[in-house]
Protein backbone atom coordinates (compact mmCIF):
# COMPACT_ATOMS: atom_id res chain seq x y z
CA UNK A 1 0.00 0.00 0.00
CA UNK A 2 1.34 3.42 -0.85
CA UNK A 3 1.73 5.98 1.88
CA UNK A 4 -1.44 8.03 2.19
CA UNK A 5 -0.66 11.71 2.35
CA UNK A 6 -3.19 14.50 1.98
CA UNK A 7 -1.98 17.95 1.01
CA UNK A 8 -3.58 21.34 0.74
CA UNK A 9 -3.39 23.46 -2.41
CA UNK A 10 -0.33 25.21 -1.05
CA UNK A 11 1.46 21.86 -0.79
CA UNK A 12 1.64 21.77 3.01
CA UNK A 13 0.79 18.68 4.96
CA UNK A 14 -2.85 18.50 6.11
CA UNK A 15 -3.80 17.35 9.60
CA UNK A 16 -4.32 13.66 10.21
CA UNK A 17 -7.72 12.31 11.14
CA UNK A 18 -6.67 11.76 14.73
CA UNK A 19 -9.02 13.77 16.93
CA UNK A 20 -7.31 16.98 18.08
CA UNK A 21 -6.76 17.30 21.82
CA UNK A 22 -6.71 20.88 23.03
CA UNK A 23 -5.95 19.71 26.57
CA UNK A 24 -2.82 17.94 25.38
CA UNK A 25 -1.74 20.96 23.33
CA UNK A 26 -2.21 23.27 26.32
CA UNK A 27 -0.21 20.96 28.57
CA UNK A 28 2.59 20.63 26.03
CA UNK A 29 2.87 24.40 25.66
CA UNK A 30 2.74 24.89 29.43
CA UNK A 31 5.34 22.20 30.05
CA UNK A 32 7.71 23.66 27.45
CA UNK A 33 7.27 27.15 28.95
CA UNK A 34 8.05 25.96 32.48
CA UNK A 35 10.92 23.81 31.26
CA UNK A 36 12.26 26.89 29.46
CA UNK A 37 12.14 28.89 32.70
CA UNK A 38 14.02 26.16 34.54
CA UNK A 39 16.53 26.05 31.71
CA UNK A 40 17.12 29.82 32.01
CA UNK A 41 17.52 29.55 35.80
CA UNK A 42 20.04 26.71 35.49
CA UNK A 43 22.14 28.44 32.84
CA UNK A 44 21.89 31.73 34.75
CA UNK A 45 23.27 30.12 37.92
CA UNK A 46 26.12 28.54 35.98
CA UNK A 47 26.99 31.86 34.34
CA UNK A 48 26.82 33.72 37.67
CA UNK A 49 29.02 31.22 39.47
CA UNK A 50 31.50 30.51 36.69
CA UNK A 51 31.70 33.95 35.13
CA UNK A 52 34.98 33.45 33.36
CA UNK A 53 33.83 30.23 31.70
CA UNK A 54 30.62 31.51 30.07
CA UNK A 55 31.72 30.69 26.47
CA UNK A 56 32.40 27.09 27.48
CA UNK A 57 29.07 26.88 29.32
CA UNK A 58 27.08 28.20 26.37
CA UNK A 59 28.88 25.93 23.90
CA UNK A 60 28.44 22.91 26.19
CA UNK A 61 24.75 23.51 26.89
CA UNK A 62 23.95 24.47 23.29
CA UNK A 63 25.82 21.47 21.91
CA UNK A 64 24.06 19.05 24.22
CA UNK A 65 20.67 20.55 23.38
CA UNK A 66 21.26 20.21 19.63
CA UNK A 67 22.54 16.67 20.04
CA UNK A 68 19.57 15.74 22.22
CA UNK A 69 17.06 17.19 19.75
CA UNK A 70 18.56 15.64 16.62
CA UNK A 71 19.81 12.29 17.86
CA UNK A 72 17.85 11.34 20.99
CA UNK A 73 15.17 9.47 19.03
CA UNK A 74 17.80 7.38 17.24
CA UNK A 75 19.64 6.76 20.49
CA UNK A 76 16.42 5.68 22.20
CA UNK A 77 15.45 3.35 19.34
CA UNK A 78 18.93 1.82 19.31
CA UNK A 79 18.96 1.45 23.10
CA UNK A 80 15.64 -0.37 23.03
CA UNK A 81 16.89 -2.76 20.35
CA UNK A 82 14.66 -1.55 17.52
CA UNK A 83 15.57 -3.01 14.12
CA UNK A 84 13.81 -1.62 11.07
CA UNK A 85 12.03 -4.32 9.06
CA UNK A 86 10.69 -4.49 5.51
CA UNK A 87 7.16 -5.54 4.50
CA UNK A 88 8.63 -8.86 3.37
CA UNK A 89 10.17 -9.49 6.78
CA UNK A 90 7.08 -8.51 8.80
CA UNK A 91 4.01 -8.48 6.54
CA UNK A 92 1.43 -8.58 9.36
CA UNK A 93 3.02 -5.69 11.25
CA UNK A 94 3.39 -3.60 8.10
CA UNK A 95 -0.17 -4.42 7.11
CA UNK A 96 -1.49 -3.20 10.47
CA UNK A 97 0.53 0.03 10.19
CA UNK A 98 -0.74 0.55 6.64
CA UNK A 99 -4.35 0.22 7.79
CA UNK A 100 -3.83 2.76 10.58
CA UNK A 101 -2.15 5.17 8.15
CA UNK A 102 -5.11 4.86 5.78
CA UNK A 103 -7.56 5.53 8.61
CA UNK A 104 -5.56 8.48 9.92
CA UNK A 105 -4.55 9.86 6.50
CA UNK A 106 -0.94 10.31 7.59
CA UNK A 107 2.47 9.30 6.22
CA UNK A 108 3.66 5.82 7.02
CA UNK A 109 6.39 5.79 9.67
CA UNK A 110 9.36 3.47 9.61
CA UNK A 111 8.46 0.10 11.10
CA UNK A 112 10.71 -1.82 13.47
CA UNK A 113 10.78 -4.88 15.71
CA UNK A 114 12.70 -5.28 18.98
CA UNK A 115 13.80 -8.75 20.07
CA UNK A 116 12.38 -8.77 23.59
CA UNK A 117 9.91 -10.95 25.45
CA UNK A 118 8.59 -7.87 27.29
CA UNK A 119 5.27 -7.24 25.49
CA UNK A 120 5.38 -3.58 24.48
CA UNK A 121 5.52 -1.00 21.70
CA UNK A 122 6.84 2.53 21.33
CA UNK A 123 7.20 5.40 18.87
CA UNK A 124 10.06 7.84 18.42
CA UNK A 125 10.84 10.71 16.07
CA UNK A 126 10.94 14.49 15.93
CA UNK A 127 8.23 14.62 13.26
CA UNK A 128 6.12 12.45 10.98
CA UNK A 129 9.01 12.32 8.50
CA UNK A 130 11.43 10.87 11.04
CA UNK A 131 8.90 8.75 12.97
CA UNK A 132 9.52 5.11 13.82
CA UNK A 133 6.99 2.70 15.32
CA UNK A 134 8.33 -0.42 16.99
CA UNK A 135 6.71 -3.53 18.47
CA UNK A 136 8.52 -6.17 20.51
CA UNK A 137 8.47 -9.82 19.55
CA UNK A 138 6.75 -10.48 22.87
CA UNK A 139 3.88 -8.18 21.91
CA UNK A 140 3.51 -9.62 18.40
CA UNK A 141 3.36 -13.13 19.81
CA UNK A 142 0.67 -12.36 22.38
CA UNK A 143 -1.82 -10.04 20.67
CA UNK A 144 -4.59 -10.73 18.18
CA UNK A 145 -4.68 -8.55 15.01
CA UNK A 146 -7.40 -6.13 16.29
CA UNK A 147 -5.50 -5.70 19.57
CA UNK A 148 -2.25 -5.03 17.72
CA UNK A 149 -3.94 -2.40 15.57
CA UNK A 150 -5.25 -0.69 18.69
CA UNK A 151 -1.74 -0.54 20.17
CA UNK A 152 -0.24 0.76 16.92
CA UNK A 153 -2.99 3.39 16.63
CA UNK A 154 -2.09 4.50 20.16
CA UNK A 155 1.60 4.83 19.30
CA UNK A 156 0.95 6.66 16.03
CA UNK A 157 -1.26 9.11 17.91
CA UNK A 158 1.89 10.23 19.74
CA UNK A 159 3.46 10.95 16.35
CA UNK A 160 0.40 12.78 14.98
CA UNK A 161 0.10 14.97 18.08
CA UNK A 162 3.89 15.57 18.20
CA UNK A 163 4.06 14.84 21.90
CA UNK A 164 6.96 12.43 21.29
CA UNK A 165 9.10 15.39 20.22
CA UNK A 166 7.93 17.48 23.18
CA UNK A 167 8.76 14.71 25.65
CA UNK A 168 12.22 14.35 24.09
CA UNK A 169 12.97 18.06 24.50
CA UNK A 170 11.36 18.28 27.93
CA UNK A 171 13.43 15.38 29.27
CA UNK A 172 16.68 17.03 28.12
CA UNK A 173 16.84 19.49 31.01
CA UNK A 174 16.63 16.75 33.60
CA UNK A 175 19.46 14.88 31.89
CA UNK A 176 21.59 18.05 31.77
CA UNK A 177 20.89 18.91 35.42
CA UNK A 178 21.83 15.38 36.45
CA UNK A 179 25.14 15.60 34.58
CA UNK A 180 25.97 18.98 36.15
CA UNK A 181 25.16 17.64 39.63
CA UNK A 182 27.50 14.66 39.19
CA UNK A 183 30.32 16.77 37.77
CA UNK A 184 30.03 19.31 40.60
CA UNK A 185 29.89 16.64 43.28
CA UNK A 186 32.79 14.62 41.90
CA UNK A 187 35.04 17.54 41.09
CA UNK A 188 34.21 20.94 42.54
CA UNK A 189 33.18 20.06 46.07
CA UNK A 190 36.27 18.05 46.82
CA UNK A 191 38.50 20.98 45.86
CA UNK A 192 36.46 23.70 47.57
CA UNK A 193 35.51 22.39 50.97
CA UNK A 194 36.26 25.52 52.99
CA UNK A 195 33.04 27.08 54.20
CA UNK A 196 34.49 30.61 54.16
CA UNK A 197 35.70 30.35 50.56
CA UNK A 198 33.30 32.31 48.27
CA UNK A 199 34.21 30.16 45.28
CA UNK A 200 33.67 27.00 47.30
CA UNK A 201 30.27 28.19 48.51
CA UNK A 202 29.29 29.15 44.98
CA UNK A 203 30.29 25.77 43.58
CA UNK A 204 28.39 24.04 46.38
CA UNK A 205 25.26 25.80 45.14
CA UNK A 206 25.56 24.26 41.67
CA UNK A 207 24.61 20.68 42.61
CA UNK A 208 21.86 21.99 44.91
CA UNK A 209 20.27 24.11 42.15
CA UNK A 210 20.79 21.33 39.61
CA UNK A 211 19.12 18.80 41.89
CA UNK A 212 16.09 21.08 42.35
CA UNK A 213 15.89 21.66 38.58
CA UNK A 214 16.13 17.91 37.96
CA UNK A 215 13.33 17.16 40.44
CA UNK A 216 11.01 19.83 38.98
CA UNK A 217 11.68 18.79 35.37
CA UNK A 218 11.06 15.15 36.35
CA UNK A 219 7.68 16.01 37.86
CA UNK A 220 6.70 18.18 34.87
CA UNK A 221 7.50 15.45 32.35
CA UNK A 222 5.69 12.83 34.44
CA UNK A 223 2.52 14.94 34.59
CA UNK A 224 2.59 15.52 30.85
CA UNK A 225 3.36 11.88 30.15
CA UNK A 226 0.36 10.57 32.09
CA UNK A 227 -2.02 12.87 30.26
CA UNK A 228 -0.56 12.11 26.84
CA UNK A 229 -1.06 8.38 27.40
CA UNK A 230 -4.75 8.93 28.15
CA UNK A 231 -4.98 11.19 25.11
CA UNK A 232 -3.39 8.54 22.88
CA UNK A 233 -5.79 5.89 24.19
CA UNK A 234 -8.75 8.16 23.53
CA UNK A 235 -7.79 9.25 20.03
CA UNK A 236 -6.75 5.72 19.01
CA UNK A 237 -10.09 4.31 20.20
CA UNK A 238 -12.00 7.00 18.29
CA UNK A 239 -9.93 6.51 15.14
CA UNK A 240 -10.32 2.73 14.98
CA UNK A 241 -13.84 2.68 16.43
CA UNK A 242 -12.84 -0.33 18.56
CA UNK A 243 -12.04 0.76 22.12
CA UNK A 244 -12.68 -2.79 23.32
CA UNK A 245 -9.72 -4.08 21.27
CA UNK A 246 -7.40 -1.51 22.86
CA UNK A 247 -8.79 -2.32 26.32
CA UNK A 248 -8.18 -6.01 25.69
CA UNK A 249 -4.59 -5.28 24.63
CA UNK A 250 -4.00 -3.16 27.74
CA UNK A 251 -5.36 -5.87 30.04
CA UNK A 252 -3.39 -8.62 28.33
CA UNK A 253 -0.08 -6.73 28.22
CA UNK A 254 -0.34 -5.49 31.83
CA UNK A 255 -1.20 -8.99 33.06
CA UNK A 256 1.75 -10.50 31.20
CA UNK A 257 4.21 -8.06 32.81
CA UNK A 258 4.01 -10.00 36.07
CA UNK A 259 5.33 -13.10 34.27
CA UNK A 260 8.39 -11.36 32.81
CA UNK A 261 11.69 -11.92 34.69
CA UNK A 262 12.61 -9.02 36.96
CA UNK A 263 15.96 -8.59 35.21
CA UNK A 264 14.25 -8.01 31.86
CA UNK A 265 11.83 -5.52 33.42
CA UNK A 266 14.68 -3.54 34.97
CA UNK A 267 16.41 -3.30 31.60
CA UNK A 268 13.23 -1.88 30.07
CA UNK A 269 12.36 0.55 32.89
CA UNK A 270 14.63 3.45 31.78
CA UNK A 271 12.51 3.74 28.64
CA UNK A 272 9.07 3.56 30.30
CA UNK A 273 8.12 7.05 29.10
CA UNK A 274 8.23 5.75 25.52
CA UNK A 275 6.39 2.46 26.06
CA UNK A 276 2.73 1.58 25.56
CA UNK A 277 2.65 0.07 29.05
CA UNK A 278 5.33 0.68 31.72
CA UNK A 279 7.57 -2.22 32.67
CA UNK A 280 6.86 -2.75 36.37
CA UNK A 281 7.35 -5.53 38.83
CA UNK A 282 4.19 -6.13 40.87
CA UNK A 283 6.00 -5.11 44.11
CA UNK A 284 7.35 -1.76 42.94
CA UNK A 285 4.77 0.54 44.54
CA UNK A 286 7.12 3.56 44.58
CA UNK A 287 7.77 3.17 40.86
CA UNK A 288 4.04 3.07 40.25
CA UNK A 289 3.61 6.28 42.27
CA UNK A 290 6.15 8.05 40.05
CA UNK A 291 4.96 6.30 36.90
CA UNK A 292 4.98 7.93 33.50
CA UNK A 293 1.60 6.27 32.79
CA UNK A 294 -1.86 6.46 34.37
CA UNK A 295 -3.10 3.34 36.12
CA UNK A 296 -4.68 0.48 34.20
CA UNK A 297 -8.01 1.25 35.90
CA UNK A 298 -7.97 4.85 34.66
CA UNK A 299 -7.23 3.76 31.12
CA UNK A 300 -9.88 1.05 31.09
CA UNK A 301 -12.52 3.38 32.59
CA UNK A 302 -11.90 5.92 29.86
CA UNK A 303 -12.15 3.28 27.12
CA UNK A 304 -15.37 1.94 28.65
CA UNK A 305 -16.90 5.43 28.50
CA UNK A 306 -15.84 5.83 24.87
CA UNK A 307 -17.30 2.41 24.03
CA UNK A 308 -20.61 3.41 25.63
CA UNK A 309 -20.64 6.72 23.71
CA UNK A 310 -19.96 4.99 20.39
CA UNK A 311 -22.76 2.46 21.06
CA UNK A 312 -25.37 5.20 21.46
CA UNK A 313 -27.62 5.72 18.41
CB atoms within 10 A of CB 148: 22
> Residues annotated as binding site for Zn(2+)?
154, 158, 229
Known catalytic residues are: 155
Those residues with Cβ within 8 angstroms of residue 244's Cβ, 6 or more apart along the chain or in another chain: 303, 307
> Residues annotated as binding site?
154, 158, 229
Amino acid sequence: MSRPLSRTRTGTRARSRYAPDSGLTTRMVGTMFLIGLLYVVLVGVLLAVLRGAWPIILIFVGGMFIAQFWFSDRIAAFSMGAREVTPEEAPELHGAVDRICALADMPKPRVAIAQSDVPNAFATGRSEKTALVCATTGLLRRLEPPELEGVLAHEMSHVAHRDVAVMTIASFLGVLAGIITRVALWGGLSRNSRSNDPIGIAIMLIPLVSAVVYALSFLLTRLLSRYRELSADRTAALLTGRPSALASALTKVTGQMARIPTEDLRKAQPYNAFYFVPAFSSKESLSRLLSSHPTLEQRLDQLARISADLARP
